[in-house]
Structure 1
Amino acid sequence: MMMLKRQILQKPLILRSFRREISTSTPDSTNQVPPPPSPPSPLTSESCTKFAPLKESAKTLRHLRFTVPYDYHEAHKIQTEFVSAFLDFKKMASKIDRSNRELASKGLESNDYEKKIVQAILENKPPPTVLSFEFKPIFTAGQREKKRLSGEDIAKLKNTGYDFVQTDRGGEITFHNPGQLVVYPIIDLRDFKNLTVKCFVSLIEDTVIKMLSKHNIHAKKTENTGVWIDENTKISSIGLQVRRAVTFHGVSLNVRNEIPKIEDAGFVFCGLPGKTQTTMKELGTDITISQAAREFVRELATNLGVEKVETIELDSLALHTDDPDRVQ
């Protein structure tokens, strides 16, 4: 199973209609007006400095861009497989470290051949990976909603024409639909200097803000998580989960999608009464999801201190595993 996970991360299996592209992140040369500074939310109030990869494997950001609207449940299986691969590798690395410490406590050590084998294994760590999707219509609920939503509530949400799923991410109720970019960054925070969970959330917000500024859309942080155009208008939602320092789930950005009338079901976006959402298209910028995904990932790489981005475009990814929902 570990070999399967490694193969998926180093060369995804059964890619249909895929194209690979490698680029380097360079400073943008256009004269864009920088966005005004905004106060950090309580979640991201930690002082965050510049980040940089600490390991060779973290110096390339791999971007898997799914080019057709995807089923949320299938995307979740793909994400789960990648996260499991990261966690399996970390578990193996921990066992190796523990074994070396046990040998040292007895005054012993591995021979040169064994050391080379172990080093080769550890250098084959999966690179930081970003999955980007455009989902078919669905409402998703974060952990805060698990005990609050009744069967009647879920039925009301489904009556709007959207599917519904309970997730293990942070946050409350949000939506996904065609025209919205969804990005899942699967990153081991410990592979980067100074990158804590709070700083990573802040980094994601900064990535969206900088990307939007290049289209002369001035967005900001507020006391609420996510990215906002003003105090009452949201354009990007963030709901992350972290396990053993590995991030999953992620961020959505309204690019050119319709905003569903969630209030018809008796709910409010992200549990915030009086707030609404907008899109890049409504604000005068009409770009494709593919363009938005590439711009986001390039900006994310820059913020992480990563110079190399490898992009693979595909319309599907088949996983050969009997346990697609396993994350340990």
Structure 2
Amino acid sequence: MLRLKLQQNIVTASLKRAYTTSTTTQGSSEAPKETESCTKFSPIKESAKTLRHLRFTVPFEYNKAHEIQTQFVSAFLDFKKMVSTIERSNKELISKGLESNDYEKKIIQQILDNKPSPTVLSFEFKPVFTAGQREKKRLSQESIDNLKQNTGYDFVQTDRGGEITFHNPGQVVIYPIVDLRDFKKLTIKCFVSLIEDAVIEMLRKNGIKSEKTANTGVWIDEDTKISSIGLQVRRSITFHGVSLNVSNEIPKIEESGLVFCGLPGKSQTSMKQLGVDISMADASRQLVRQIASKLGVEQVETIELDNLELHTDSPEQQ
């Protein structure tokens, strides 16, 4: 089991460039307006006042990235479980007319103060098709085999929301791992809207006008999509996330009898196709800063890596 040490940087990592930068996020009054209930958020826990961005600088296999994400999510869930155990023990003591001594209280507070901060993982993936939960029953094995044969790319069924999408180098994939309860009035519906707003604002700052439609994601117009969103939530912890087409080539999959995102007649584009030349590093940093800004988080710490070795403890080591 991956320990909470992940959040204190006690991990073994192969660093291409290991450095931490702190940036102040900037909001914008020109950002698209939402209903009042989904317009402004702020951290209510000290640990949530800093967002940690781990940017992976080389293309990853999807399954490797998924493994990394799973370990971080597990660390967040383990912490929540530990807090629940502490709270339950305190209630039992109080019910018996007892309380922890000063030393025990100090240790407990030190534990609680080490809650993981909101973390964003950003990747580029090697070419792969992924499908969300909606596609599990709809996609036949024949359709999947045809897709792989016609494109030459692999296919992975995932547990995220959404439908079928394509990942390849030149596309930024952002996995925000956030405890929604650490932010005032932040629901999953509002979080999806927040992510869309962050993409829209990032594109606006690069001279691209985009919008929300009746369909999830960010669109250049009613028929042209540039960003897909597929989130999952467990015990208020978010995972999976959003992809933004920066400079990637987008394959045609109609010959396989499939359509992107389950929307016939729609197409996808990229920032490059729209005339904007931006590096993957700048695109990911700008998008993460916008997510932080929408969350009301002022501090972003960025670590750049080309790999991350994750270790599990055997029962003998625990």
Q: TM-score scaled to structure 2, two decimals?
A: 0.94
Once residues 27 and 290 of structure 1 are traced to their aligned partners in structure 2, the CA distance between those partners, rounded to angstroms, is: 18
Q: Distance in 2 between matches of 1:210 and 1:25?
A: 16
User: How far apart are residue 322 of structure 1 and its match?
Assistant: 6.6
Gaps of 5+ in 1: 324-328
Kept in 2, the 8 Å contact 1:33–1:213? The answer is no
Counting only pairs closer than 5 Å after superposition, residues 27-38 of structure 1 correspond to structure 2 as 27=26, 34=30, 37=32
Asked if structure 1 preserves the Cα contact closer than 8 Å seen for 2:55 and 2:303, the reply is yes
- Identify the residue that residue 306 of structure 1 maps to in structure 2: 297
Equivalent positions of 1:29-178 (< 5 A) are 34=30, 37=32, 47-159=37-149, 160-178=151-169
Q: Which position in structure 1 is the counterpart of 2:22? A: 23
Pairing 1:239–2:230 present: yes
Offset, 1:5: 2.0
The alpha carbon displacement at 1:130 in A equals 0.3
Q: Give 2:253's aligned residue.
A: 262
Gap change, CA 1:155 and 1:71, over 3 Å in 2:
same
Deviation at 1:149, TM superposition (A): 1.6
Q: Per-residue deviation at 1:209? A: 0.2
CA distance in 1, matches of 2:76, 2:17: 23
Counterpart Cα distance in 1 of 2:25 and 2:180 = 23
Q: How does 1:197-212 map to 2 (within 5 A)?
A: 197-212=188-203
Decide whether the 8 Å contact of 1:46 with 1:198 is kept in 2.
no
Q: Alpha-carbon deviations, 1:231-254, whole Å to 9, x = none?
A: 000000000000000000000000
Q: Is the 8 A contact 2:230 2:242 kept in 1?
A: yes
Structure 2 contact 13–305 (Cα < 8 Å) conserved: no
Give me the whole-angstrom Cα distance separating, in 1, the residues matched to 2:259 and 2:177: 29
Q: For 1:191-233, what per-residue CA distance to the aligned partner results, in whole angstroms no more than 9, with x for missing partners?
A: 1111110000000000000000001100000000000000000
Which amino acid in the other structure matches residue 285 of structure 2? R
Structure 2 counterpart of 1:92, one-letter code: M
Deviation at 1:26, TM superposition (A): 4.2
Q: What is the CA–CA distance in structure 2 between the aligned matches of 1:142 and 1:89, rounded to whole Å?
A: 27
Pair 80,26 (structure 1): closer, same or farther in 2 beyond 3 Å: closer
* RMSD, matched Cα: 1.8
Match of 2:8 in 1: 10
Identity of aligned residues (%): 71
Cα separation, 1, equivalents of 2:176 and 2:161: 15
Please state how far the C-alpha of 1:75 moved relative to its aligned partner: 0.3
Please state how far the C-alpha of 1:76 moved relative to its aligned partner: 0.5
Distance in 2 separating the partners of 1:304 and 1:148: 35
- Which whole-Å deviations, capped at 9, do the CAs of 1:46-102 have from their partners, x for residues lacking one? 831311111111111000000001110100000000000000000000010111111
Q: What SS is found at the alignment partner of 1:68? A: coil
- For 1:284 and 1:5, the matched residues in 2 are separated by 44
Change in Cα spacing, 1:202 to 1:243, as seen in structure 2 (3 Å) is: same
